[in-house]
Each structure stands twice: as C-alpha cells, then as structure tokens.
Structure 1
C-alpha cells in the first residue's frame, strides 16, 4: 500500500513556473517506491486533481523514468470509465516528469476485504457479496477493454481496485503495464531495451502474479491478468488469501507449483457457490492456455451467476410472503389453503427451510378434524375394499354351496328346515356376488349378505349340533365382515353372530327344537335332525368341514395382512419422501 510521504520540492514540478501558474499543491495523497502523488488545485478549471511525480531519487534512473512515462501514456490512451483519465503530461529534460489525472475518492478492494474480515458492521451492510461481484464484473470489463487496446496490466490486486462512493470502479496503478503487440510498442516509440521485462525478472505482486510472471517470462499476455482476476474473485468470496504463503519466496514458489482452487476453498468459513468455484478454477489454471480465455468471458460468467442470484432473491421474497400467508391460514385452521401456499413456496425455493419444515409437519401430522373431502375418499376406499373382500367371500360361499348335493344324497329328515337352510345359503352367496359386482352398494349389500349367512349357519346347527362344525363356520363367516367394519359395526356383527349360535341352543334347552346332541356316561352323541348320517358321506363331510375351518381363516388373515403391509409400506414411503423436505436437524 502507498505510504504517506512528505513534499520533496527539489528540482521538480514545484519549481516549474508553468505548473505553479495553474496548479496549487494542497497536500500529499501518497507515496511509493518510485513515485509520489500530490493533491493539487487546478486554478484554471477550478477542480482538485491528483498529480503523480517521479521521486527525486529516481529521476536520473533512465529505466524508472521510461516506465513512469509509459504508465502515463498507456493510462492516457485507455479512455474507459474504469481507468483514471490523464489530463496532462510534462517531461522536462532536467526536471522530474509528472502527469495530472482525475482525483478518485473511495476505498480500495483490499481495504473492504480487510474490514469484512474484521466483521465491521457498516462495511458488511454496505458491501454485500452481490455488490462486490458487480464491482468485480466492472473491473473485468475495464481489463477487457485494455486488452482490446493491446495493454496488459500485469499488477492486478485488490490494492489496485478502487471502489467509489457512487458505484464507480477504477483500476489503478498501470506502472507495470505493457503493450502486448510488438508492432504497437515500436509505433509508440517504447525504449524496449530499458523498459521491457528482462528474462528471469519477476514483476508484479506476489500472490497475484501468474505462474509465468513468477518465472520471469518477459512476454506475458492477457492470460496473466485473467489469472490475477481469478485470484481476486476468490478473495472476494472467501475473504482470505488465495496464496497462503507467508513470505515473498513462499508465495512465488506456491504460484509456480500451482494452487488447486478446491484445496484453497476447503475448510473456509464462507460458502462459495459451486458455479463461482468453477469460474475461479478455470481462471487460475497453472498453464495459460488452459485458463478462461478472456476477461470478458470471466465477467460474463460472474454476471450469469448474478442474474441467477437476483432471480433467487426475488423468488425468496415471494416464498417468504407465501409462508406468511400460510401461517395465517394455519391460524384459521385452514390446512388445505396452508398446504397449497407452502407447496408453492417450496416450488419457488426448494431449500426454503421454514416453508419445507412447515409443509412437512403439516403433511406428516394429521389434522385434529378430518376434512369432509377425506371422509368422502375414505367412504370410496371402504366401498372398494369391501367389494374386494366380497369377491373372496363369494368364492368361499360357492364352495359351501358345493356341499348341497351331498346333503341331498344323505337324505333330509326335516325337509322344510333343510330347504330353508339351502335357500338362505344361496341367498347369501347371491347377495355377496352382487356386492362383488358392484350391483349392490353400501350397507345394504353387507347387511343382506351377513344376515343371510348367519341365518343359514344357524339352521345348519341342526346338522351336527350348535357346538360342532357350525361354530367354526360362523367364525370364518364373521372374520370376513369384521375385517372391514368400524368398531361399532364390529360389535353389532359379533352380537348377531352370537345370537345366531345361541338361539338354537336356547330353543333346544326349552324343548322347542329336538336335541341334536346328548351327553351321557358313554360320551357325546350327535343325533341326526336335519339330514341322515350316511356313514361314509358323513365322515367326508366332517373332514371337509374341518379342512375348511382350518384353511379359510388363514387365507382371510393372510389377505388382510397383505393389504395392511401394502398400506403401511406406502405410508412409510410417503413419509420418507416428505421428511426429505425437512432440514437434517429437524428429521
């Protein structure tokens, strides 16, 4: 950084009557190793100007003098808003050369980064990442213009970028700049032997100069400036040096070996967007031919990011507004509206933490009251589930009907009761078939089929008594209906089934019906009441009944279990997808 220095008036511009006739020195702005900058008042126009003059101890050095004049001429020919304009150049033979230029006000990018590192509140509020990136784009545009004029800066660093009070961005200190076209240098009467970089001589600022500069390449081109711009971009984003060397030698060695941007970015406090990390990596390749080709391409890449960043900011504002409206809807217990608003917010900004958290919790936690639309869907689901169960039950009852010929062959002892039992069994099977086909909907089909089945089994108790075979048939009959019934409905079904089994027992005890079994010292005797007990057919009928009693409940329970597991799997998958919307620490 330029150090403050005193006024050295010997043999210089302050003894020049022409200079003093127009300019009145008012103070020193700064001083460097080869020149100093004075603040003067231009009396002719009435403005403050900066006057740069070669130091007295450098005025006899031909090389230093030539470089000073070349800086003034190159800076003067670069007519661009990002280059401080040169007003006047004086090269008296026996005096120190000087030139006047616009006085710029502001703070260097180096100073801004230092204050950001110190967490200065005012600087953090004033120089946001977006503003610094916009200033960087302006800086790239300035360098691109210089390259178009065949001028390479060769000393770009945050120290040489000035940010003005009103959005101006100036690239300073063109003292090491050179014309990259030999023909241009000749036409400009450059004294090449004295002013050009000699092989092996590294010019620039260590840490920002490119590898070819560090190696002393005398013919560096625009790629060297692109490298320095990449380093500056890194330091804007990371607020720490790209080159971690602590001494000049270390920084030069690291530059020559090449610095991997991903390693430089690792472990940083600031989150560098991956798009810009790729831009930095491309601009800071060790080999010039592998770098981003021009400063314009570098500016365009950052500008594309800024356009997307501005779009993200606008979408974030919209999402924030939607979250506020969703909270209001939740306060009114209008979950449907809140869900819709939050879904729109997440669609605008997928990583919006508050919207994602609220939406996931809203979807994962059921409301206290079930909405009417959900009731309607549940009814449709129950209807579909009942029809599916009815299809299975119809096959089961058809299997029961297959035993009717066996009963007929065995012979009826009580034809009216037998015909009634067969009729109720056929009616139950038909009703269940109508339910399965969708011809009989709602509770009507369930009530008709259940009552018909219960009555049929109650009459069947007269075949092998109410305590043998019939209870297992009633149990499998009850399972089908209870699996799809609500708690209150299940209680009613169980009561009706118990009545179907209990009434025949009570009637037998009261003597209304003839007893179907007798218990004495010799054992339990089952008496034929509804059909004759033909020994062989009776034995097969009992075997088939027992097989059905064992197998059917297993089939029914298996189907219910499969349906339950399928629903649970869908629910868990649904929950897993929704939880992915939550931040990790909220899951």
Structure 2
C-alpha cells in the first residue's frame, strides 16, 4: 500500500531536521540528497501559503487589466460624436451608448481600486453593463457587424479572471447581448435590419441614415481600437505570467545552489 504523502507541516519539519544534519556534517551525502530532494521536489498538494501568493498575483493582474478597461471604456465616448458624424440621428441611441460606456468606466475604475476582495456588485454590474452596451450596438449597426467582435473581445477579458465566474455563463450572456436584436427581429418584435434586395445584402440602422465614407472611416477606427485593446490586455497578462515564472525559476535556481552536489565516490 502506498504511503500517504507528507503534509506541509511534515515537509517543513523534515527540511529543518535535514538542514541541521547538513550543518553539523556538510560532507554528509545522505543529508545533502535529502535536503535537495525535499527542497526541489514540490509537494503534491499546494500549501495554503502558496495559494495565497497566487491570489496576490492574480489580484495584481486583475487590477492592471481593470485600469486598462477603464481607459478603454472612456475611449468609447470618443465614438459618440463619431456616431453623429456617420449619420446616427436618434439621440436615444447616442445617449444610451454614452451612459453605458461611462457606467462601464466607473465600474472598471472601482474594480481597479479594490486590493483584495472583489465586490460582487461591481463584477456582475460590469458584466451586465457590457451586455447592455453590446445589445445597443447590435441594434444600431445590425447584430452581425460591430456587436460580435466586441462581445468576443469582452469575453476574452472576462475569461482571464476566475472572479467573473463560469465561462459558459459569460459566453451565453455576451452572445445573447450581441444577438438580442436579431432574436427580436426573428420573433417579429423589432423591425428587420438585415435584408436582401435583388440578391444584394442590405444593412439598415433604426437609429438613422448612415453616410459613406463616414461609416467606413468610423468602423476602421473602431477596428483599430478593438484590436489594440485586446492585444494590450493579452500582452499585460503574458508579462505578468512571465514575471511570475521568472521569480519561480530564480527561487529554484537559488535553492539548487544551496544544496551541495555530492562528490562521486570511488571504489
């Protein structure tokens, strides 16, 4: 029957005893091997102290990305005058975009200021506010132009952090936001925004009559901001993970230097 692996307290005691033995007899091969094995072989179960340190790293990364999100949502306000420029004349839609963007920025700022526990109100609030923002954009510019890309970028940002809950719930909520206008159109509740005329695809907005090339330029700016923001989020996460891996490898390297390499015995 396999023996039960030692718990963290037993490992700590074993390391202390082996360290004392090695201090008393630095030439002891057995003590050196025991110290090396205990120090370099990680335990099967993660100690609570390590979990706490990982939570700190996750929290730092979360706050960094919340600050990026705060700036990104503020940048959405730049699109409010752009919407008027491209031909959006229904001020209800323009106001709704401005209010939801500002609300998202406030919620993101609040999350970036929390050092330990994350408020469920802020977490669920920013998810709901993003779903609403995507739903409004899906109605303004049809469900298949702006909304899907924004929903994808948003779920990437949320999925990086377990504080937001289950991935399938986030995906379902954001997908519902992106396709809510289409669902309403299929059910006959809303007027169609996508149709065909003599085989040509026609996209129409209930918020006004868009102008070309204004819409093309605005959409190009939107694409640039979206791609850059997602790239910045992912790069920030990658840097944080690399810093954590570097620290872990440095600690392991230091430990290897502390353990003397046993000299080969000659017959």
TM-score range, shorter chain: 0.7 to 0.9
User: Does the alignment pair 1:535 with 2:238?
Assistant: no
Residues 439 and 448 of structure 1, relative CA distance in 2, 3 Å threshold: farther
What is the root-mean-square deviation in Å for CA atoms of aligned residues? 3.2
Residues 452 and 331 of structure 1, relative CA distance in 2, 3 Å threshold: closer
Give aligned pairs, total.
258
Offset of 1:401 from its aligned partner? 1.9
User: Does the alignment pair 1:516 with 2:158?
Assistant: no
Residues 373 and 563 of structure 1, relative CA distance in 2, 3 Å threshold: closer
The structure having more radius of gyration, on CA atoms, is: 1
Task: Between 577-586 and 360-369, report the one with greater CA deviation.
Answer: 577-586
**C-alpha contact 1:345 1:355 (8 A) present in aligned 2:** yes
TM-score (norm 1): 0.39
Structure 2, unpaired ranges of 5+: none
Q: How does 1:118-267 map to 2 (within 5 A)?
A: none
CA–CA distance in 1 between the matches of 2:28 and 2:163? 41
Counterpart position of 2:37: 361
Counterpart position of 1:577: 254
Offset of 1:546 from its aligned partner? 2.0
CA–CA distance in 2 between the matches of 1:459 and 1:392? 23
Deviations 1:257-283 (A, max 9, x none): xxxxxxxxxxxxxxxxxxxxxxxxxxx
Offset of 1:456 from its aligned partner? 0.7
User: Does the alignment pair 1:423 with 2:103?
Assistant: no
Counterpart position of 2:140: 463
Is the partner of 2:195 in helix, strand or coil?
A: strand
User: Does the alignment pair 1:405 with 2:72?
Assistant: no
User: Does the alignment pair 1:552 with 2:229?
Assistant: yes
CA–CA distance in 2 between the matches of 1:373 and 1:358? 23
Residues 558 and 356 of structure 1, relative CA distance in 2, 3 Å threshold: same
Counterpart position of 2:111: 435
Structure 1, unpaired ranges of 5+: 1-328
**C-alpha contact 2:74 2:101 (8 A) present in aligned 1:** no
Is the partner of 2:219 in helix, strand or coil?
A: helix
Offset of 1:455 from its aligned partner? 1.7
CA–CA distance in 1 between the matches of 2:190 and 2:54? 45
Counterpart position of 2:177: 500
CA–CA distance in 2 between the matches of 1:331 and 1:539? 62
User: Does the alignment pair 1:393 with 2:69?
Assistant: yes
TM-score (norm 2): 0.80
CA–CA distance in 2 between the matches of 1:373 and 1:417? 50
CA–CA distance in 2 between the matches of 1:331 and 1:442? 31
Counterpart position of 1:562: 239
CA–CA distance in 2 between the matches of 1:534 and 1:332? 67
**C-alpha contact 1:517 1:527 (8 A) present in aligned 2:** yes
Larger RCO (alpha carbons 8 Å, 6+ apart): 2
**C-alpha contact 2:193 2:205 (8 A) present in aligned 1:** yes
**C-alpha contact 1:431 1:449 (8 A) present in aligned 2:** yes
Counterpart position of 1:525: 202
CA–CA distance in 2 between the matches of 1:400 and 1:515? 26
**C-alpha contact 2:63 2:111 (8 A) present in aligned 1:** yes
**C-alpha contact 1:390 1:432 (8 A) present in aligned 2:** yes
Q: Give the number of the structure whose residues are more often helix, by fraction.
A: 2
Offset of 1:515 from its aligned partner? 1.9
User: Does the alignment pair 1:474 with 2:151?
Assistant: yes
Is the partner of 2:143 in helix, strand or coil?
A: coil
Deviations 1:44-74 (A, max 9, x none): xxxxxxxxxxxxxxxxxxxxxxxxxxxxxxx
CA–CA distance in 2 between the matches of 1:584 and 1:523? 79
Is the partner of 1:525 in helix, strand or coil?
A: strand
Deviations 1:281-300 (A, max 9, x none): xxxxxxxxxxxxxxxxxxxx
Offset of 1:468 from its aligned partner? 0.7
